[in-house]
Amino acid sequence: MDYNIGVDIGGTKIAAGIVQRDGTIIHQVKVPTPKLGREAILQVLKEVIVELTLFANKKSITLGGIGIGTAGQVHVQEAKILSGTSNIRNWGDIHLREEIKAYSELPVYVDNDVNVLTLAEQYFGAAKGYQEVICLALGTGVGGGVLTKGSLIHGTWGGATELGHMSVDMNGELCNCGLPGCLETFASGTWIARRMSKLLTEHGEEHIDVASITGEEVFRFYKEGHPLAKEVVQQMIQGLSIGIINLIHMFNPQIVVLGGGVMANEDWIIYLLQENLKHKGLRALVNGVELKSAELQNESGLIGASIQPWLYSTNKFSIENVQ
C-alpha cells in the first residue's frame, strides 16, 4: 500500500494526515487537543480518522494502515497507552487499537512521539541513510529514540530509551521522575526557564518578569550577553554534553540528532556542543560522531507516525523504497 494515515497526538494539537510513501502529506487535518481529556480526545480521533478515510475513498486511494504517535508510555505490541503525560488529561490505560477497531478495519500501530520523530528523521530527515542513531527531542520535557541496525530499540514493551530521565548529576535538581539531575533538568524548555527564574530571583533582578519567563527568552537574553542567561546556557551545554557522551559510550552511534522546540532555529547549540565534546569521553567512540539538528519541523510527528504500518506490516519498508 502506498498511503497510510498518520496521527500525532500532542498536548496542544492533534495533527493527522494521509501520507504517501515518499513522506508527502496529501491531505491534512489539525484540531486542538480537547482539554476535557480521554473521551473527548477519542471522539476527535474518531472524527479525524473517519474524515481521512472518506477523503481516501473519494479519491480512490487505498490506505494501508493507521500509525499514531503520542506522548506518554506506549505498549507497542498491544498499541496501548500505559501512562500518559501531564500535558494531556486522563491520557493513560487506553487500548487505542481496540478503540479504533470499532470504526476502522485498518491495522493500527502506536508508539511514543519521540520514537516516531526518530523514524521521520531516519527516513526523510537528518538521519537518512544512517543505521546507528540517537535522537534527542528537547521540548517541554526531553525525550529520546535510539536506532540500532536501523530499528528502534523498544525494550520489553516499548518503554526503552527514556533518555531525558538519564541522570547526569547525582547531586542535581530533583526531577519529577524521582531521580536527581536528569538530563531533562538541564535541557528541557521547562527547566531552562526554571533555572533562569531562580537565578534572577537570587540576584534580585525581579524587574524582569521572573514567573513567566520562557526558554526562548532565556536564549534571547543569552544572545544579548546577559550573564545569568550565560550561566543557564553553560549548565544546559554541560548537562547535554555529559548526557550525549554517556549515550555515545553506550550505543556507539554514527549520528546524534537534536530536535524539539528548544532546538528550533538554535544551531549555535550544536556548535557549542561540538566544542564541548572535543574534550570529553573516549576518543575512539566520540571522534567521528556527527551531531546535527533535526531537519523536519512541524509535521515530523505525523509523518513519522505514518511510517509504522509500512515498517511493521509484512510489506517491509526500506530506505531504498523512498529514494
CB of 120 to Zn ion, least distance (A): 25
Dihedral pair phi/psi, residue 70, rounded to 5°? -145, 150
Coil vs helix vs strand at 271? helix
Using CB under 5 A, list all residues that contact Zn ion. 165, 175, 177, 179, 182
CB of 188 to Zn ion, least distance (A): 10
Q: Which residues contact 278 (CB under 8 A, 6 or more apart)?
A: none
> Based on the number of CB atoms within 10 Å of its own CB, is 211 exposed (0-12), middle (13-18) or buried (19 or more)?
exposed
What CA–CA distances, in Å, run from 70 to 6, 7, 41, 75, 314? Answer: 11, 8, 12, 12, 24
Residue closer to Zn ion by CB (options 75, 165) is: 165
CB of 165 to Zn ion, least distance (A): 4
CB of 183 to Zn ion, least distance (A): 8
Count of CB atoms within 10 A of residue 30's CB? 14
Q: Which of 87, 85, 260 is nearest to 177 (CA)?
A: 85
CB of 167 to Zn ion, least distance (A): 7
* Separation of first and last alpha carbons in the chain: 17
